[in-house]
């Protein structure tokens, strides 16, 4: 089975940049999707196919994917960005989620 | 507005069965693939099952294969998950999610399944 790895937590100050990584074997050869889940809420898709931002997602969210690592970057981080973030890939008829990264805005 | 509403959750004993439903509105349901995704208390997301728009292609996570069955009724705009031989480790919030280009682009609010004696 295919596995994805994420750091358990990332801390960022308001207005600064947060980078959340997702690692997997030759992940750059696959598409990666990212989800935001605020406390007590359902997940929301924030990045599609590595770097395509859904229309309802702010421009401060961006994504990249190369080598073994995909990255979701949040610039000018706001308090409302505090949430759990999950990466997702697709591998041979399986949807694979990363373990999630808790982003804390201090 | 896209809406997905899950129902059918509750408390069930180990070894028991439960059927979840997801009612869709705000989009042409029979044009979209669908997923069930679950989240154990305090844990991350786990994909459970996938069904194609016409119901002809179905995939399951290894953890539920042989116990869970995904199905859909496009005439009723509804997605289902029949869960048999339930175990304590199946305890989770179960979400239905619309699939677009292998992304879960819309999610329901989830329904809680608790497997306990």
User: Mutate which of B35, B102, B106 to disrupt the A interface (most A C-beta within 10 Å)?
Assistant: B102
Chain A touched by B78 (CB under 8 Å): no
pLDDT at B49: 98
> What is the H or E stretch that residue B93 is in?
strand B92-100
Residue-wise pLDDT for B41-92, tens only, equals 999 999 999 999 999 999 999 999 999 999 999 999 999 999 999 999 999 9
**What residues in A contact B50, CB-CB < 8 Å?**
93, 95
Q: A-B interface: how many C-beta pairs under 8 angstroms?
A: 57
Q: How does residue B39 score in pLDDT terms, banded at 50, 70 and 90? A: very high
The strand pair at B111-115 and B10-12 is best described as parallel
pLDDT at A4: 97
Token pair for A20:
């959340």
What residues are paired with A63 via a beta bridge?
A72
**What residues in B contact A87, CB-CB < 8 Å?**
none
Cβ of B105 within 8 Å of Cβ of A49? The answer is no
**What residues in B contact A102, CB-CB < 8 Å?**
none
Q: Residue A89 and residue A65: Cα distance in Å, rounded?
A: 11
Q: What is the DSSP string of A48-75?
A: BTTTBPPTTS-TTEEEEEETTEEEEEES
How far apart, in Å, are the Cα atoms of B53 and each of B19, B33, B71, B78, B109? 20, 4, 10, 11, 21
pLDDT at A32: 98
Q: Residue B34 and residue B102: Cα distance in Å, rounded?
A: 10
């Amino acid at each position: 089975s295919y596995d994805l790895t994420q750091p358990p937590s990332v801390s960022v100050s308001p207005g600064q940049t947060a980078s959340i990584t997702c690692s997997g074997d030759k992940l750059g050869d696959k598409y990666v999707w990212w989800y935001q889940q605020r406390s007590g809420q359902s997940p929301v898709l924030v990045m599609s196919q590595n770097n395509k931002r859904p229309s309802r997602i702010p421009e401060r969210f961006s994504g990249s994917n190369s080598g073994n690592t995909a990255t979701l970057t949040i610039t000018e981080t706001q308090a409302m960005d505090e949430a759990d973030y999950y990466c997702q890939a697709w591998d041979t008829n399986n949807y694979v989620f990363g373990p999630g990264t808790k982003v804390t805005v201090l | 507005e896209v809406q997905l509403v899950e129902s059918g959750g509750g408390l069930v004993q180990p070894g028991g069965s439960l059927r979840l439903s997801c009612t869709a509105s705000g989009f042409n349901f029979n044009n979209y693939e669908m997923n069930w995704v679950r989240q154990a208390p305090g844990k991350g997301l786990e994909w459970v099952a996938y069904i194609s728009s016409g119901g002809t292609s179905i995939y399951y996570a290894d953890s539920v294969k042989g116990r869970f069955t995904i199905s859909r009724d496009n005439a009723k705009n509804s997605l289902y998950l029949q869960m048999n031989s339930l175990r304590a480790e199946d305890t989770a919030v179960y979400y239905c999610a619309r699939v677009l280009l292998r992304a879960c682009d819309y999610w329901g609010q989830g329904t809680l399944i608790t497997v306990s004696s």
